[in-house]
């Protein structure tokens, strides 16, 4: 009896065309991170449950894949790359030079409900600067976010920025500090549930006056600078926190990259560990997809594992959600999935010769495969076309005798009869490709 070859709900196979594109995007990101001086690290997919989820006998987070291994250890699959990074920093402090700029691109697992752009296995791309608490580092993460999207061919984005500290100052100023965490949780939902529902929830948490003040505070008004001036005023005047945002904005203007950045006081990011600047990134043509790159400043990240102060700032691209968005917006077409050349099989007796040609072509830097079996040429062309191979070479008896090849451009149907192999290579190389990251 056969076993059904199915995958788990929320998990996916990637067929070549999509996987080639995903890999190219990852390559572009890695290159961009490297260009900014960020270094890659790796951590295990599986960790001690306590290390990932903390102490305490509370109910296991339902979203986490946790189990006992064969040695009876409580283990769990990582659900993000941030917690393992905090653990990593604490474990290797003596071997690392601060500031430490790292990136990490890999899979994480969450057993959450599946929906558009949400899967149970997905790739995150994290980049962080640890060991600094200043505007230059905050700025660099934002700059790198913009540069990463540009490198991927995505320019129509909005990065929404806020500062947790200014919001806290404001809450203190209106005497609502005690409920800060609850307020942030409610405010965080505004994009989903709307202004009215947020006012209602805040009013029952505090009172109508405070609710209205908060709703006024979180409403952007005008330019970045105008909104900053407004929340500076509402939070009791200039402070270290407003100064920080002001300086980051100055850097943006100095570099001429300020467009695309918005100050949005409603952005709080649900997670408790943020202490300073926070941000989200929306595709302007697909805002309903949610944030595709979020993060912020956390100044006590590794405090669960070490007493050493490790301020940090970072961001994370949800690659699989982004891919879903790019697919919907036809932004993946720019990524080439093709190959340069195939040597077709005209007769089995020349297979050795075909392998020799292929080896010589590869030496020139082009990709080249041989068709391994004697099938109808029509079948071989269909294979080549399906695989998005650009050129074919046929080497029949005439070509063998004259030490030439016959080259064909599959898409233009152009033929180059009995030319030398170096000529063929030159023609293929001349075929300029306009796709991203050929």
Residues numbered 313-342 forming contacts with its own copies, rule: CB under 8 A:
339, 342
Q: Is 22 in the site for its own copies (CB under 8 A)?
A: yes
418 Cβ neighbours under 8 A, 6+ residues apart? 398, 399, 402, 404, 405, 406
Which window, 154-162, 173-181, 282-290, 380-388, contacts its own copies (CB under 8 A)? 380-388
Q: Is 36 in the site for its own copies (CB under 8 A)?
A: yes
Torsion angles phi and psi, residue 297, rounded to 5: -95, 135
Which window, 10-18, 183-191, 263-271, 390-398, contacts its own copies (CB under 8 A)? 10-18
Q: Is 5 in the site for its own copies (CB under 8 A)?
A: yes
Instruction: Extract the tokens encoding 27.
Output: 């390559």
CA distance linking residue 258 with residue 250, whole number of Å: 9
Instruction: Extract the tokens encoding 84.
Output: 């393992």
Which window, 171-179, 196-204, 275-283, 381-389, contacts its own copies (CB under 8 A)? 381-389
Tell which one of 173, 367, 396, 400 touches its own copies (CB under 8 A).
367
* Min CB(272)–its own copies separation in Å: 17
Q: Is 68 in the site for its own copies (CB under 8 A)?
A: yes
CA distances from 109 to 64, 78, 80 (A): 7, 6, 8
* Residues between 267 and 306 that touch its own copies (CB under 8 A): 302, 304-306
H or E element that contains 289:
none
- DSSP tag of 416: E
H or E element that contains 236:
none
* Residues between 109 and 138 that touch its own copies (CB under 8 A): 109, 111, 121, 129, 132, 134, 136-137
Which window, 7-15, 155-163, 260-268, 391-399, contacts its own copies (CB under 8 A)? 7-15
Angle between helices 224-234 and 208-217 (to 10 degrees): 150
Q: Supply the DSSP string of 378-400, one letter for each residue.
A: HHHHHHHHHTTEEEEEE--HHHH
* Residues between 170 and 209 that touch its own copies (CB under 8 A): none
Tell which one of 383, 396, 409, 416 touches its own copies (CB under 8 A).
383
Q: Is 359 in the site for its own copies (CB under 8 A)?
A: yes
Closest CB to its own copies among residues 16, 237:
16
CA distance linking residue 231 with residue 265, whole number of Å: 8
Which window, 41-49, 162-170, 206-214, 221-229, contacts its own copies (CB under 8 A)? 41-49
* Min CB(246)–its own copies separation in Å: 13
Strand order in the sheet with 121-130: 39-40, 100-109, 121-130, 312-318, 293-298, 277-283, 157-163, 261-263
Count CB atoms within 10 A of the CB of residue 82. 22
> Look-up: residue for tokens 């294979």?
383
Interstrand relation of 339-343 and 389-394 (parallel, antiparallel or unpaired) = parallel
Which window, 54-62, 225-233, 268-276, 427-435, contacts its own copies (CB under 8 A)? 54-62
Instruction: Extract the tokens encoding 220.
Output: 């952007």
Number of chain positions touching its own copies (CB under 8 A): 102
* Min CB(111)–its own copies separation in Å: 5
Tell which one of 79, 127, 139, 167 touches its own copies (CB under 8 A).
139
Instruction: Extract the tokens encoding 374.
Output: 């004697």
> Look-up: residue for tokens 């997670």?
271
> Look-up: residue for tokens 């149970």?
120
Q: Is 99 in the site for its own copies (CB under 8 A)?
A: yes
**What character string, x for contact with its own copies (CB under 8 A) and - otherwise, covers 218-257?**
--------------------------------xx--xx--
Closest CB to its own copies among residues 199, 306:
306
Q: Is 14 in the site for its own copies (CB under 8 A)?
A: yes
Structural contact between residues 109 and 121, judged by C-beta atoms closer than 8 angstroms: yes
H or E element that contains 415:
strand 415-419
Which window, 92-100, 182-190, 198-206, 279-287, contacts its own copies (CB under 8 A)? 92-100
């Amino acid at each position: 009896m056969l076993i059904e070859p199915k995958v788990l709900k929320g998990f996916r196979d990637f067929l070549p065309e999509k996987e080639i594109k995903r890999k190219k995007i990852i390559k572009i990101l890695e290159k961009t991170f490297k260009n900014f001086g960020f270094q890659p690290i790796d951590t295990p997919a599986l960790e001690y449950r306590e290390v990932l989820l903390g102490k305490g006998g509370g109910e296991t987070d339902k979203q986490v894949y946790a189990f006992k291994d064969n040695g009876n250890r409580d283990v769990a699959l990582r659900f993000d790359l941030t917690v393992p990074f905090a653990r990593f920093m604490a474990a290797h402090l003596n071997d690392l030079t601060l500031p430490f700029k790292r990136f990490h691109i890999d899979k994480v697992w969450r057993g959450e409900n599946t929906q558009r752009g949400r899967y149970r296995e997905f790739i995150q791309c994290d980049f962080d600067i640890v060991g600094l608490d200043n505007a230059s580092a905050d700025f660099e993460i934002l700059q790198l976010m913009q540069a990463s999207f540009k490198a991927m061919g995505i320019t129509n984005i909005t990065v929404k920025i806020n500062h947790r500290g200014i919001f806290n100052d404001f809450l203190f100023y209106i005497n609502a500090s005690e409920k800060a965490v609850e307020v942030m949780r409610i405010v965080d939902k505004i994009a989903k549930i709307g202004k009215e529902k947020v006012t209602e929830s805040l009013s029952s948490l505090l009172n109508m006056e405070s609710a209205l003040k908060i709703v006024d505070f979180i409403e952007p008004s005008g330019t970045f600078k105008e909104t900053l001036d407004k929340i500076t005023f509402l939070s009791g005047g200039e402070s270290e926190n407003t100064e920080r945002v002001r300086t980051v904005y100055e850097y943006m203007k100095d570099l001429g990259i300020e467009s695309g950045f918005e100050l949005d006081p409603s952005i709080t990011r649900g997670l408790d560990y943020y202490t300073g600047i926070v941000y989200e990134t929306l595709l302007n043509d697909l805002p309903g997809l949610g944030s595709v790159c979020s993060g912020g400043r956390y100044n006590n990240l590794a405090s669960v594992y070490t007493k050493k102060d490790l301020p940090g700032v970072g961001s994370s691209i949800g690659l699989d959600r982004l891919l879903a968005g790019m697919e919907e917006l036809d932004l993946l077409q720019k990524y080439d999935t093709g190959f340069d050349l195939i040597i077709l099989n005209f007769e089995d007796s020349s297979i050795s010769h075909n392998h020799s040609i292929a080896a010589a072509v590869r030496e020139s830097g082009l990709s080249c495969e041989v068709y391994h079996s004697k099938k109808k040429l029509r079948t071989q062309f269909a294979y080549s076309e399906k695989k998005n191979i650009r050129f074919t070479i046929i080497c029949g008896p005439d070509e063998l005798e004259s030490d030439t090849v016959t080259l064909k451009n599959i898409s233009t149907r152009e033929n180059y009869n009995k030319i030398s192999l170096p000529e063929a290579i030159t023609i293929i190389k001349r075929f300029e490709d306009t796709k991203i990251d050929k």
